Amino acid sequence: MDKDVVNIGKSVFIKGELNGSEDLTVEGNVEGKIELREHVLTIGPHGKIKAEVFAKAVIVLGEVVGNITASEKVDIRDNGSVDGDIVSPRVAIAEGAHFRGSVDMQRKAATPGAPVPPSKPEVKAAAPSPAANPAPGGQRLGV
């Protein structure tokens, strides 16, 4: 199970768009936009990111200033820092981590079982409608 992983060293500074089709570890500085939609982005302890980030998973040990969108998870580890909004179905923030922004934990739409759970709340939301008018039937439900 050898996976390709690219490392950006501490002395490297990148400004612009960064796209890739392999996992990436950043120990240097990146400004702009990072797109690794099917892969994992790790910001190492020395990494400093000022960018919009789109990845499958994002692990933050360094600093991120910008919004993060991940299709699987965002993990802000101890001493990691994020200033920006996060959109991901799973978010973990360790004790000692810094986070300032909002979190939107949207469910994945591509999962085969995903359409079933959203339909249940719709049915429950529709069920109380007859109980909202207790006078015609003379029944008092939920009291």
pTM: 0.73
**Vertex 106, ends 16 and 79: CA angle to 5°?**
60
Total of domains in the chain: 1
CB 65 within 8 A of CB 83: yes
Q: What percent of the chain has pLDDT over 90?
A: 69
Within a domain: residue 68? yes
- Contacts of the segment 83-87: beta carbons below 8 A, 24+ positions apart: none
Instruction: Label residue 3 by pLDDT band (50, 70, 90).
Output: low
Calculate the alpha carbon distances from 70 to 7, 98, 128, 134 in Å: 20, 18, 36, 46
Within a domain: residue 35? yes
Give the count of beta carbons closer than 10 Å to the beta carbon of residue 29: 20
Within a domain: residue 134? no
Within a domain: residue 141? no
**Looking at residues 51-64, what average pLDDT do you find?**
98
Domain extent for 60: 5-128
Within a domain: residue 31? yes
Q: Is the predicted pLDDT of residue 57 greater than 70, yes or no?
A: yes
CB 55 within 8 A of CB 67: no
Per residue in 91-138, pLDDT tens? 999 999 999 999 999 776 444 444 444 433 343 334 444 444 454 555
| Alpha-carbon Rg for the chain in angstroms | 21
